[in-house]
A = this chain, B = another copy of it.
Amino acid sequence: MTRHVELISTGAELLIGRTVNSHAHALARALHPTGLRLSRDTTIPDDPQVLLGTLKGALERVDVVVVTGGLGPTSDDITRETIAAWLDRPLVLDRDASERIRQACEKRGLEPSQARMRQALVLEGAVVWPNLTGAAPGELIEENGKFIVLLPGPPREMEPILTQSLVPWIEQQYRLIPPPEHIFLLAGAAEGDIVTLFEKHHFPPDGIAAAYCASAGTLEIRLSADSPVLLKGAADTVRGLLGDAVFAEERTSLEAVAGRMLAEKKLTLATAESCTGGLLGSRITNVSGSSAYYLGGVVAYDNRIKIQLLGVSEDTLAGYGAVSPQTAKQMAEGVRQRLGADFGIGITGIAGPAGGTAEKPVGLVYIALADDGQTKVRECRLSSNREFVRFMSTQLALDMLRLRLMQK
């Protein structure tokens, strides 16, 4: 059997710019611990001929093909019927799924219409995987020793079935050991700088492959090798070369890493945000359990709020402006003191596209970190669009906090 899985994502919405297709991402993550790898994702419209052509092609290359979407109640949902017709198998009503749909309708005072009940149909002989967050169940169809998996399209229905049913099935079906790899995550580092540093130290040596991926303010360096011994040595080398710049050696987020450090040291944090408008608080609190160390913050978009809730002085705002190291410092110190936290972070900058001047261009951001001893302010000049400037500002703020926590 091959070690690879292919994904076919169906749905016009994925091809008209309405929705970002997150299925490949979710499936690859779920597959990771099993040692199987996603080798291809093909996104196609809801068209029976295109679906069958793509499915046949995929089944020639791999043993497991996952098809997402097209199991819903509307007329553009054609996956189930198309595959049943091709395999010449009847559709049968799944008792659990139909009961679940009936109950959901009853609870909401709706008719269990024919369109709705159609979602409980599955191919005869399929293994049915319950959908606890929606109507259409997942199913696993075996045909000539190959496997076709059908999953509903909405991520919040598809993802639980992935982890609760597909992965356990794969783990039972396949007994594979993942190839050795080691990853390093860095915040705000440029791929080119790392490559240059590595080249200077004649890294990677023979037998080690290094791959790089930069996204959302994080650079991932992935080392792989056939030999675990070689890999361990290479990881030690990278650790020596990069030092503190590495924030994790597993796939995680910077907010989770900084949060864990705060929790371990029993320290608390408060935030004062201007140009990021709450994004830093939002990222920190997206980690479950963050209430143990995050007290809260102030979104001081208007200057009056900076004065009133954070105690930034009017003279500072008048003399240096809202986007200045002085204002960032007073924001961090003000929120730390007023909220009674161990650390205060202040961010002020120009996210763009409007609002820049020659002296203070779009992308100029000041980040301040205050604790009981001192306040550090970092000046950043970020490029690209509003979203990037805002995200990168929160990323650099979290990394300042992480580096400070390493010294505590």
Binding site for B on A (CB under 8 A): 11-22, 24-32, 37-45, 50, 72-74, 76, 110-111, 113, 115-116, 133, 135, 154-156, 191-193, 195-196, 199, 209-215, 220, 222, 251, 271, 273, 275-282, 284-286, 288-291, 294-302, 304-305, 308-309, 338-340, 351-354, 383-388, 390
Contact = CB atoms under 8 A, between A and B. Distances in A.
A298 B296 contact: yes
B305 A339 contact: yes
A297 B279 CA distance: 12
A95 to B, nearest CB: 21
Given A195-B115, A295-B304, A45 B39 contact: yes
Given A156-B384, A214-B154, A297-B278, A43 B45 contact: no
Given A12-B211, A285-B277, A298-B296, A25 B29 contact: no
Nearest to A215: B19
28 contacts: A11-B213, A13-B211, A13-B220, A15-B24, A15-B28, A15-B37, A15-B39, A16-B28, A17-B25, A17-B27, A18-B213, A18-B251, A20-B21, A24-B43, A39-B45, A40-B43, A42-B43, A72-B212, A156-B385, A278-B279, A278-B285, A281-B301, A285-B299, A288-B386, A295-B301, A296-B301, A296-B302, A309-B338
Contacts of A294: 277, 301-302
A291 B352 CA distance: 12
A60 to B, nearest CB: 12
Contacts of A383: 133
Given A110-B196, A286-B390, A296-B305, 14 more contacts: A12-B211, A13-B215, A16-B222, A17-B251, A18-B213, A18-B251, A73-B195, A155-B215, A156-B385, A277-B285, A278-B284, A282-B390, A288-B352, A308-B338
Contacts of A352: 288
B278 A299 contact: yes
Nearest to A44: B40
A299 B302 contact: no
A12 B213 CA distance: 9
- Chain A to chain B: the 9 pairs with minimum beta-carbon distance, closest first: A277-B285, A278-B281, A278-B278, A17-B28, A17-B29, A13-B213, A279-B282, A296-B305, A41-B43
A386 B154 CA distance: 16
Given A296-B300, A299-B281, A16 B40 contact: no
A299 B300 contact: no
Contacts of A116: 192
A223 to B, nearest CB: 13
Contacts of A18: 28, 213, 215, 220, 251
